[in-house]
Chain A
């Protein structure tokens, strides 16, 4: 229903909130990982969530995906509470999680296969994303023969092919070496524009966040809260050498390192 609605709405309907988190709490046993995360993500917005390591960024993504349940607070998508995983939200994990027994093409069409879409139609729909992720020619390869960067392209194409409203990226470039990562960020710039949907990306790299996202949300160290919310006002495609971007990077890095310092000194006190 809402997917159709989104397609009809013009671009200026961006102010419509897609995902709303109100006072989210999450604890594991007696460790409080998250206290009061409040955040609203608009329709077709690309939001990067960044924070010190171990702050529970990925946990927040798993809450949106419905893999885990919040211990307190309210989490909604299109105004409905999230109760579990569903095909309206596609996920890309840091460690790719491809199925070694399926070829690249079968991995990508898996979501449509599960939904019972005919094989020819599924392959036709996959074609666009195979092209945009630069996987043409690798359709019949098995994942074990691909490099890390190629594997991540497969995972991204797989998540986009079954057409979810929201794309959830869990440190998508975290397992790649720096050169591959930089190349992928540049190479996939058009893809996000073409995908044109709500994207939430978890990352620990400031430059990655600033280059890709419309908005960067900074979480504090555990137990986490939102400590900064920065809109990146630079049009796409973005250039690495743009001085405005460097200012954004510096600003966010400053907030983040202050938070890391605080966490480190706290840790020393405990020891």
Chain B
């Protein structure tokens, strides 16, 4: 018994929950402390409350703008929803096109010779520089922002997939070939599962870039909804409450998207496939 204690047997679930709670409290401790200091400083008039409105005011803004009293009603969820739809559409496009291009570049000589030079001249262009051109080509609608998201994410997807194919064990092909697999079968049964973890990694990195690009593109090219539009529009009316509300939402959503949502997916696939040990 005492030996079991020494070896660090699994603690009780109650203790575990306590540890988790403690962890959350200590992890968010600095953020909470900063917010409280900010609140106090704002209330006591130590800081300019126009440029740094109290967190409670910002929270109140988020609350009213999320309800029927917002202008327009339910404004906040609408902005978030619109940004999310654009992000998802752009990412989906980047994943499909990026996977096809990545596999072609990784597997065939001609595609490598054709696309590699083109990619290396297009990649150094700052994504947002395309925005004015796209605005002229498509006008102020969702297409511009979706294409910006696509451009921001697609290079990362291609890059990780090509890397994934280069990491692949050639013997996997040999085994499949010796079993008489066709090209299509090899694509769906060998290549896609083998590069899947890399695809997820590429998606995570790509989503990070895409989120940044989307916010900026919405500031430049959206006419009614989207978080980027919301904060830029607010700057014209000098409503700093709304700007901070937007920044907080952008930060939290960006964190959740990249680290929690796709991060979890990535951890799960890497663990299941165990590519860490194969590297």
Contacts and interface: CB of A to CB of B under 8 A. Distances in A.
Interface of A: 30-32, 223, 266-267, 269-270
Contact of B8 (A31, A223, A266, A267): A31
Contacts of B7: 267, 270
Contacts of A31: 6, 8
7 contacts: A31-B6, A32-B6, A223-B6, A267-B7, A270-B4, A270-B7, A270-B9
Interface string B1-44: 00110111100000000000000000000000000000000000
A266 B3 CA distance: 8
A115 B147 CA distance: 61
Contacts of A223: 6
Nearest to A30: B8
B3 A269 contact: yes
Nearest to A27: B6
A100 B4 CA distance: 44
A54 B226 CA distance: 56
Contacts of A266: 3
Contacts of B4: 270
The 6 A-B pairs of least Cβ separation, nearest first, read A270-B4, A270-B7, A266-B3, A270-B3, A31-B8, A32-B6
Interface string B56-73: 000000000000000000
B10 to A, nearest CB: 11
A270 B3 CA distance: 8
B190 to A, nearest CB: 34
Nearest to A223: B6
Contacts of A30: 8
A262 to B, nearest CB: 11
A269 B3 CA distance: 9
Nearest to A266: B3
A32 B8 CA distance: 10
Contacts of B8: 30-31
Contacts of A270: 3-4, 7, 9
Contacts of B3: 266, 269-270
Nearest to A31: B8
A55 B212 CA distance: 50
Pick the most buried of B3, B4, B6, B8: most chain A CB atoms within 10 A of its CB: B6
Given A31-B8, A223-B6, 10 more contacts: A30-B8, A31-B6, A32-B6, A266-B3, A267-B7, A269-B3, A270-B3, A270-B4, A270-B7, A270-B9
B95 to A, nearest CB: 38
A30 B9 CA distance: 12
A83 B8 CA distance: 30
Nearest to B9: A270
A223 to B, nearest CB: 8
A78 B77 CA distance: 73
Nearest to B8: A31
B229 to A, nearest CB: 49
Nearest to B5: A30
Contacts of B6: 31-32, 223
Nearest to A222: B6
Contacts of A32: 6
B5 to A, nearest CB: 8
A36 B4 CA distance: 20
A189 B14 CA distance: 58
A166 B63 CA distance: 68
A124 to B, nearest CB: 45
Nearest to B4: A270
A55 to B, nearest CB: 14
Nearest to A32: B6
A32 B6 CA distance: 7
> Which of A31, A266, A269, A270 has most B Cβ within 10 Å?
A270
Contacts of B9: 270
Interface string B125-165: 00000000000000000000000000000000000000000
Contacts of A267: 7
A256 B3 CA distance: 20
A32 B7 CA distance: 9
